[in-house]
Amino acid sequence: MGQEKRGNVFLITGAAGFIGYYLSKQLLEAGKTVIGIDNLNDYYEVKLKETRLTDLEKYNQFAFFKMDIADKEVMMALFEEHKPSIVINLAAQAGVRYSIENPDAYISSNITGFFNILEACRFYPVEHLIYASSSSVYGSNKKVPFEETDFVDNPVSLYAATKKSNELMAHTYSHLYNIPSTGLRFFTVYGPMGRPDMAYFGFANKFFNNEPIHIYNDRDFENDLYRDFTFVDDIVQGILKLIPEAPKKTAGQAAHRVFNIGNNQPVKLMAFITALEKALSNSLGRDIEFEKVYEPMKPGDVPATYASTDQLQHVTGFKPQTTIQDGLQKFADWYVTYYNKK
């Protein structure tokens, strides 16, 4: 693969992850060469990552390397051998609540690992570096919808702080070394083969284990949490449309931009839960209802996420539009089949 034309080589970090898998698959379907790397850690069930990876390995133009982006030596060697033209960094330690339990993992992957990606792009220049940021950078901002120009210097979790740091680091490297880079603030991504640590997946697990689901809004239905849930296919389409739109350096402006990718249609938590109950009912062919336990909001959680997608639409002409019911139905159908719950 080292002999591939440079313009055809895509490096996807976190390729066995949720978004990384779907993005890699789309690129491979389009005939691109994809180098996937992932450390296959056990933050959530490794079998799910292996299932995604097995599907990708059906493609001849896919090569996988099990490695950690926090290992600078192996990252530099990989860049030297394959010299990718497009780098999409989706490898990161995810999760707001877990960052309270295990902060070291976030510094290793999200700070040191991302630094290594930037260093590799510095010494082996790329046409475009795209990297995952997060809607969590908006913290407890009250103004909605969130816009890319909003003040984001008050993170409420270490996870959010690492993602804000990524944006600052990328801007600096873009300014110093002219690395065209784009940060993507993802808003609550969901869908089939998703992350089991996400609420919708956890709710399904709880239901089939005959356990109650825990809802962290303390029965405050008037001021219910709401989220801008974004279906994974919409996330991937947004990334694909941004790949050829590498920012250019201008007088006084680094070749660096940040975009929201959200559904622009926030859903209240209780409405989301009702939609998931309906989706699972459809998949199972019988009416189901979750047993619910209400608790106070967790530290680090934010009351609302709501994306303005105007900038994304202006640059690409694309706006995510999968409805929550359609997206959850696709998840429910996959879950019931994958885990043999019929």
Q: Is residue 56 part of a domain?
A: yes
Q: Is residue 310 part of a domain?
A: no
pLDDT reported for residue 256: 98
* Mean pLDDT (10-residue bins), the chain, 342 residues: 59 98 98 97 94 98 98 98 97 81 91 98 98 92 92 91 97 97 96 95 97 80 77 97 96 94 90 96 97 83 85 95 96 98 85
- Judgement on whether residues 11 and 150 belong to the same structural domain of the protein: yes
- Judgement on whether residues 69 and 32 belong to the same structural domain of the protein: yes
| Residue 239, domain CATH | 3.40.50.720
Q: Is residue 316 part of a domain?
A: no
pLDDT reported for residue 140: 81
- Judgement on whether residues 221 and 176 belong to the same structural domain of the protein: no
Q: Is residue 270 part of a domain?
A: yes
- Judgement on whether residues 58 and 44 belong to the same structural domain of the protein: yes
Q: What domain count does the chain have? A: 2
- Judgement on whether residues 136 and 253 belong to the same structural domain of the protein: yes
pLDDT reported for residue 220: 56
Q: Which residues contact 292 (CB under 8 A, 6 or more apart)?
A: 212, 213, 215, 273
Token duo for residue 208: 């089939």
- Judgement on whether residues 132 and 213 belong to the same structural domain of the protein: no
- Judgement on whether residues 106 and 248 belong to the same structural domain of the protein: yes
pLDDT reported for residue 200: 96
- In sequence order, the β-bridge partners of residue 86 are 10, 128
Range of the domain at 58: 6-189+230-261
- Judgement on whether residues 161 and 185 belong to the same structural domain of the protein: yes
pLDDT reported for residue 100: 79
Q: Is residue 311 part of a domain?
A: no
Query: Where does the chain show beta strands of DSSP type E?
Result: 9-13, 33-38, 62-66, 86-89, 128-134, 181-186, 189-190, 213-215, 226-227, 230-231, 256-261, 267-268, 292-294
CA neighbor of 117 nearest in space, from 33, 173, 35, 41: 173
The C-alpha torsion from 200 through 204 and 205 to 208, rounded to 10°, is 170
How far is Cα of residue 5 from the mean position of the Cα atoms in its chain?
Answer: 28
- Judgement on whether residues 173 and 197 belong to the same structural domain of the protein: no
pLDDT reported for residue 2: 42
- Judgement on whether residues 210 and 288 belong to the same structural domain of the protein: yes
- Judgement on whether residues 90 and 136 belong to the same structural domain of the protein: yes
Active site residues: 159
pLDDT reported for residue 219: 61
| Residue 211, domain CATH | 3.90.25.10
